Amino acid sequence: HGCMDWIKLEKLLSFLLRHSPETLNLNMDASGWVETDALVKAVKFKEPKFDLKFLQKIVKDSQKQRFSFSEDGSKIRANQGHSVKVDLQLSPADPPETLYHGTVERFLDSIMQEGLKKGDRQHVHLSLDLQTAEKVGTRRGKPIILTVSAREMQQDGYVFYVSDNGVWLTENVPPQYLDLQ
Ligand code: HQG
């Protein structure tokens, strides 16, 4: 499989399983699942060397663990990051005292004014540790880290979820719970 570009494929899978299954005529159910066979067939059409084995390798070895198979392997979904309206049926979880959000300077004024908003995605994404938040921020430039008073938010009635790959999710974070790290 050496000649196939792993990053490119992971991006294609993210695109299909989070944002646009219809691009390759895939059906996604209400919980974000797509038939594994159909996905393999569709991707194979673009990348003839792609097969189930390679998909299994990506799911298993992807550094960010972006995807999961259903128990019997017949279905696959993205663990988080959707813009497609899906209900992942995650259970509410108790957050730690503090969570982190990595962003960049140019968003700061707006964030401090209106809080963290989910934009196109289904949730605001928060990180458990500084290092991860830094990586998330670095995707857009020089990272700026915000701390989120997650426990306090929860006490005030906000609900938190944690995805299968360890990303903390919530609907929005009002500015009073945010601080510059
Ligand atoms: C910013 C990646 C102005 C926010 C990562 C961020 C993550 C605001 C951007 C996952 C704002 C949204 C998600 C406001 C938020 N005003 N800017 N009020 N509220 N923003 O990509 O958290 O590689 O939707 O700071 O690792 O950057 O895709 O969210 O910069 O886990 O698996 O608006 O994506 O994972 O950007 O990243 P995004 P994110 P994957």
Determine which residue's CA is closest to atom 28 belonging to ligand 1: 81
- Over residues 143-166, the mean pLDDT reads 97
| pLDDT of the residue at 6 | 86
C-alpha distances in Å from residue 23, one per residue of 13, 28, 58, 62: 12, 12, 21, 23
Question: pLDDT tens, 98-120?
Answer: 999 999 999 999 999 999 999 99
Atom 13, ligand 1: residue with shortest CA distance: 125
**CA–CA separation, 43 and 76 (whole Å):** 13
Give residue 119's pLDDT. Answer: 93
Distance (Å) from CA 37 to ligand 1 centroid: 31
Task: Say whether the ipTM exceeds 0.85.
Answer: yes
Report how far ligand 1's centroid is from the alpha carbon of 30 (Å): 23
Q: How far is the CA of 2 from the centre of ligand 1 (A)?
A: 31
Residue 105 CA to ligand 1 center (angstroms) comes to 13
Quick: pLDDT tens for 79-101.
999 999 999 999 999 999 999 99
CA atoms within 13 A on the CB side of 24: 21
Contact between residue 163 and residue 171 where contact means Cβ atoms under 8 Å apart: no
The pLDDT of residue 1 = 52
Distance 104 CA to ligand 1 centre (A): 10
Residue 64 pLDDT > 80, yes or no? yes
Residue 81's pLDDT is what?
94
Query: In the chain, what are the helix, strand and coil shares in percent, each to the nearest 5?
Result: 35, 20, 40
Please state the atom number of ligand 1 nearest to the C-alpha of residue 18.
28
Q: Is the pLDDT score of 20 beyond 90?
A: yes
Give the global pTM. 0.91
Atom of ligand 1 nearest to the CA of 139: 27
Distance 146 CA to ligand 1 centre (A): 12
Looking at residue 33, its pLDDT comes to 98
Q: Which residues contact residue 15 at a Cβ distance below 8 angstroms, ignoring those fewer than 6 apart?
A: 23
Residue 46: pLDDT above 90?
Answer: no
Lining ligand 1 with CB less than 6 A are 64, 66, 81, 103, 107, 110-111, 114, 116-117, 119, 121, 125, 136, 140, 167
